[in-house]
Structure formats: C-alpha cells, structure tokens
A and B are shown apart, each in its own frame.
Chain A
Amino acid sequence: MTNVNLIDRYRRKFLGGIAAATGAALAPGILLREAGANPHDQAVSNKVRWGMLIDTNKLKDGGDAMVAACKKEHGWGDEPNSKPEQQGQWARKVTFQDKASDHKVSLPVMCQHCEEPPCVDVCPTGASFKRDDGIVLVDKHICIGCRYCMTACPYNARSFVHENLENQKPHSPRGIGTVESCNLCVHRVDAGKQPACVEAAADAVIFGDLNDPSSTISKSLKKYEAQQIRADLGLNTGVRYWGI
C-alpha cells in the first residue's frame, strides 16, 4: 500500500514537472505575441499614410548618402559569405539616361510603399503586409522564404538573407532565410522621428503624411506634379520623385 502511494506521489511529481516545463517553454511565446500585437500604446491608424518626396535635382550625389544612411541604420550589405548579387540591398542608386535627350538622372530606389503592393498580394502566408499607415513590411516570424514577393516587386526592392547573421541592430532584426526591404525606418517613425535616409538628405527629401492636406509633402505634391516609377502599373506609390 505504502509502495503504491509512493508511486502515485512520484507520478504526480513527474506530471507536475512536465506541466511546469511545458508552461515555461510556452509562456515566452504567448507573452511575446501579446506584447507584439500592440508594441506602443497607440494603434497604427489608417488616417495617416506615410510617404516620401525625393527631389532628384537637389540630390548632389544622386542618392549615395541616402543609401549609405540606410545601410548604416539597418546594417545590411556586408554579409561575409554572400556573393555580391546575394548581399542585402534595401536601397540602391539608379542612373538612367534618356535615349532621346541624353539627359542623365540619378536617384535612390527602395521599396516604394505602394498602396496596392504586389508583394502583399502574392505572399502565401501574409508575411508581406501593409500597415494601416501605408508602410509595407515583412513579418519575419511568418515569412517562409519562398521569395515570391521578390519576383512580384516591379522595383527589385527586396533582397533575401542568404546566410546566418551576427551583430544585428536591435531595432532592425534580420533573419536568415527571410525576405527584407526598406521598412521606412518604422522604428524611427513610430518614435516620431524621420527615416534615416531622409535625415541624410534633408534638403532634397520631404517625409510626411500624404493624407494630411496641410502637411509639407501634400502641399509640395500639389504645387508641382511628382512622378512615380512605373506609374503605368497603377500601384500608387508612397515614394514620389521630382525630376525623373
């Protein structure tokens, strides 16, 4: 009888141990999810649509400083094992020369934060998504690395993390086997600051709320018509250019 009781006690202890271990293993996941759903006190609102207007005439370096600032802010592009064409590339400088006029223009090209983003449409899991305020992002936790969004993006704005990474920037986590692109420095925008590339070319770039008629960007867009890259695709980009 005593033996039976002893066995029962051991069994209870063992089961209790398993329950505690399971709880300990699951708790961080559950807590992370709860914390992640609403990282700041305020929810993101669709009353705002963030956008950027780049005046290529005022960009003396054609956007080099903007690209460098992005690289520094997010730490992409120096992956030790990847070949050049496999390196992270959130932004790049593109130069085009008109065939008829020989006019040459350089501009930075990054995610254009489309209103109708093809990358979001094609993503099988919903990892590519557009926040209510118009910022197009990749949820690194549910990106399965299928790269469909990369083929769908008309701007070549996305890259794939081809290797394990170390020493990442805490505010801009990146992960092997997932797709990434310009996130409009969402961590800075949420803290009320401007994206790093905008700060690097403050004379040439206006960042602001496209939905607010009194914002500088809206007024500037009303004053002179700005262009979209591949406007023919009807994606209504959040990044606009003057002088292209």
Chain B
Amino acid sequence: MQRTDFHEIEISSRRFYSILVTLAGVLVAAAYAFFYMESQGHFVTGMNNQVVWGLPHVVAIFLIVTASGAANVASLGSVFNKPAYQPYGRISLVLAMSLLLGGLLVILLDLGHADRLIIAMTHFNFDSVFAWNILLYSGFFVIMGLYLWSIMDRTATAKRCYQPLAYLGFVWRFILTAGTGSIFGVLVAREYYDILMMAPLFIASSYLIGTACFSLVLLLLYKLEGRQLSEVIKSRLAISLCLCIVVVTLIELARHLLNYFIMGYTAVEVFVLRDAGAVTLMFWLGQVVIGLVLPIILLYLPSVKRSRLAIASTLIMLGGLCQLYVIIIGGQLQPLRLFPNAVTETSGNLDIAYSASLPELMLSLGGVAITLFVFTIAVKVLRLTPANS
C-alpha cells in the first residue's frame, strides 16, 4: 500500500498573512458588534420576545451541524475502512473542530450574559437538553483532539488508540447532532419542531452540509497550492453528496407529510410552506431548489463536469443555511395557539416579525471568520495536507 506523506500547506507567506489579515478584519468588526450588543443590550438587534433566537443562532447551529458532518470523512476512512478517504482524515478533523469553535463562540457571544460563561460551565440542570449539549460539545473537542493525535502520532500507543477513538468519535458525532436537533425537538409548545423527526433530520443534514463544506475546503486548499485534487476522491465525494441529498429530501418530505397528515400540525405547515413570506421563499428557493435540486443535477450531469463539485458544495451549504433559517426563525414566527378553534387577539406587544440587524450579521460572520482563521493557521503549521494524494 502506498504510504501517504503529509506536509504543511505550501503557500507564500504573503498570501498566508493576507488571508489572516482579511479574516482578522472581520473578527475585529465582529468583536465590535459583540461589545456593542453587550453594552447596549439586545434592543439593537432584530430579536424580540417572540423571535428570541435570530441570525446568530442560525449561523451558530449551521456551523455546529457542519462541524459534525465535516468529521465524516475521517470516520469513512477509519470506522468504515475506506482507504481512499484516509489521507484526508486529518483535514477533516481539524476542520470539524474549527467549525465547532466558530459555532460555539457565536452562541456564547449572543447570550444575554456572555460574561456568565463560568456559570454555564458550573451550574448544570441535567433535565435540560441544552446543558447536555454543553457537555457534548466540550467532549467533541477532547475526542476529536485525541483522535487527531492517534492519527498523527506514530507511536505504538497512538496506533492502539486509533480504532477505539475513531469509533468513539463516530458515535459522539451521532449523539451530538441528534442532541442539537433535540434542542428544538423537546419544545412541546412549538408544533413545527417535533422530536420524532428533528433528530434524524439534523443527523442527515449534518452529513450533507458537512461533506459539502469539507469538499469545498479541500478544493480550495488544493487550489491554493496549485495542485489538482484526484478524480477518485472528487467522484467519491460527489457520490456521498448525492446520497446525502436523497436522504435529507426523504426525511424532510416525511417530516412535512407527518406533520400535516398524522400529527395534525396543519396550521404551522401551511404557515411556513405558504404564508411566511421571506421564510417561505427561503424554503422553496433556498432549501429545496438551491440546496437540493440544483446540486443533485450538477453532480449527476456528466456534461457539466468542470468545477461542478465546488459549485454543488457551495449551493448545498447555502441551502443548508436556508434550511436552518426556516426551522429556527420560521418555527418562532408562527404564533402560539392558546385557544384552538378560536380567533385570538392580544393586547400589548406581540407583533411577530424578524429581520437581522447589522451587529447580528457581523457577529455571525465573525463565527465563520474565526473558523477559517483557526483552520488556516492549523493547515499552515501542522502536517495535515497529503502530499501525494
């Protein structure tokens, strides 16, 4: 079997630092947005008492879900023993950890009291899915870190740990994504989130978006180095993506049909799929057309070979972002039903609308920027990139 050598990414210092400086610029803007929101309060955001989770949550959960999926390539190489994927395991794990870091930072910095992180780490209510997720996310860093060590270290101890850690990482990712989906699934009052389908949907979507993100990043890395990614891995990634698209489509279809016909959540289904304005558009155009239909056409059509993986991956990620926007924002926009079979009016301040403000957008972009910042440094200083694959 051919031995794979790894190297630090070969790009000029000038290029490397210009990437870092650009990202640092975004990070400074995001830090400013955070301090502005922290000192003024959330009135400067578009969030309110009805839509309590806004764009930062959409982006944060997008990054977290993508993180879990991005580590899939490593699992395919180890747990499923596919040698073609093995050279890319290192990049896959470092990307996953960078994404999770970005996602967690955005969630943390959007808290009403980001300064109380220590309380979140020391006061646990074990009935809360959120509290379990804090443990799952912390565990993810530790397990993925150890897994990466077992891949990179050539000692016998590391080699012995490799397989168990690979399995542990795989199971942990599975639970983590299901746990993230369950954050919404346990909300009994919100009909759009039903526990039955949220966990599997999040798992399937994470595989899809994560694999797309990994493909795009890998293509970019090779482009930066002026190398060509092998057709074998490209076509394998394309097949994986197609398979994930089919699974996500089926689960989404099942979820909506189940909600509408079996669970009796007709009002919320009609609302999100027909009446919710921008959210409805995001579902049909963003999630369905851009995120599912166009990519599968691109990946299957032999005539559009050139850079189709990159375009399809970009579209899938955009679609995934729309999907989470529809789930998180759409689910909150639907008014709660206090009295079935009655027309309800409310005094006071319960207008339900949401549009993201600039500080929210900057904070969200900051999450993406910190992911890329950490990842760029990692591929520059660590031997993660395969030299001959």
Q: Do A and B bind each other?
A: yes
Stretch at the interface among A48-56, A90-98, A206-214: A90-98
CA of A118 to CA of B187 in the docked complex: distance in angstroms?
Answer: 8
The residue in chain B whose Cβ has the minimal distance to the Cβ of A62 is B347
A197 at the interface (CB under 8 A from B): no
Establish whether residues A85 and B112, one from each chain, have CB atoms under 8 Å apart when the complex forms: no
User: When chains A and B are docked, how far (Å) is the Cα of A97 from the Cα of B341?
Assistant: 9
Does B348 touch A at the CB level, under 8 Å? yes
User: At the interface with chain A, which of B14-22, B125-133, B298-306?
Assistant: B125-133
Q: State which size class the interface on A falls in.
A: 35 or more
Of A28-36, A174-182, A188-196, the stretch lying at the interface with chain B is A174-182
Residues of B within 8 A of A179 (CB): 112
Q: Which residues of B contact A85 (CB under 8 A)?
A: 48-50, 349-353
Q: Mark contacts of B28-69 with chain A using CB atoms, 8 A cut-off: 1 yes-contact digit, 0 otherwise.
A: 000000000000111100011110110000000000000000
Q: Closest Cβ of chain A: how far from B193's Cβ, in Å?
A: 9
The interface centre, meaning the residue of A94, A120, A233 with most chain B CB atoms within 10 A of its CB, is A94
CB distance from A79 to the nearest CB of B (A): 7
Among A81, A124, A160, point to the contact of B134 (Cβ < 8 A).
A124
Per-residue CB contact flags for chain B residues 304-345 toward chain A (1 = under 8 Å, else 0) read 000000000000000000000000000010001011011111
Contacting pair A146 B130 (CB below 8 A): yes
Q: A84-B349, A93-B348, A162-B42 are in contact. Are A99 and B342 (CB under 8 A)?
A: yes
A151 at the interface (CB under 8 A from B): yes
Query: What's the minimum C-beta distance from A72 to chain B, rounded to whole angstroms?
Result: 15
Whether B189 is near chain A, meaning CB under 8 Å from some CB there, is yes
Asked whether any CB of chain A lies closer than 8 Å to the CB of B120, the reply is: yes
Q: Please pick, from A118, A154, A163, the residue contacting B40 in the complex, using a CB distance under 8 A.
A: A163
Any B CB within 8 A of the CB of A168: no
* Cα distance A157–B119 in the bound complex, in angstroms: 25
- Which residues in A have their C-beta under 8 angstroms from that of B348? 67, 77, 87, 89, 92-93
Evaluate contact between B112 and A147: CB separation under 8 angstroms. Answer: yes
Whole-angstrom distance from the CB of A217 to the nearest CB of chain B?
Answer: 22
Whether a CB of chain B sits under 8 angstroms from the CB of A159 is yes
Taken together as a complex, chains A and B put the C-alpha atoms of A77 and B349 apart, in Å, by 9
Assembled-state Cα–Cα distance A67/B47 (Å): 24
Provide the residues of chain A in CB contact with B353, threshold 8 Å: 85
A126 contacts partner chain B, Cβ-Cβ < 8 Å: yes
Is B171 on the interface with A (CB-CB < 8 A)? no
Whether A184 sits at the interface, judged by CB under 8 Å, is no
In the assembled complex, the CB of B265 is this many whole angstroms from the nearest CB of chain A, namely: 13
The 10 closest A-B pairs by CB, nearest first: A145-B112, A177-B112, A154-B189, A163-B41, A147-B52, A85-B48, A124-B130, A162-B43, A93-B347, A125-B123
Residues of A within 8 A of B (CB): 64, 67, 77, 79, 81-87, 89, 92-100, 109, 118, 120-127, 142-148, 150-156, 158-164, 176-179, 229-230, 233, 244
Apart from A142-B123, A179-B112, what 16 extra A-B contacts exist at CB < 8 Å? A67-B347, A67-B348, A89-B49, A92-B346, A94-B346, A95-B346, A98-B342, A120-B127, A123-B125, A123-B128, A124-B131, A142-B116, A144-B119, A144-B120, A145-B111, A177-B112
Can you report 15 A-B residue pairs in the complex whose CB atoms are below 8 A from each other? Answer: A89-B49, A93-B347, A94-B344, A94-B345, A94-B346, A99-B343, A109-B338, A118-B187, A124-B131, A143-B112, A150-B49, A152-B186, A154-B189, A156-B350, A160-B112
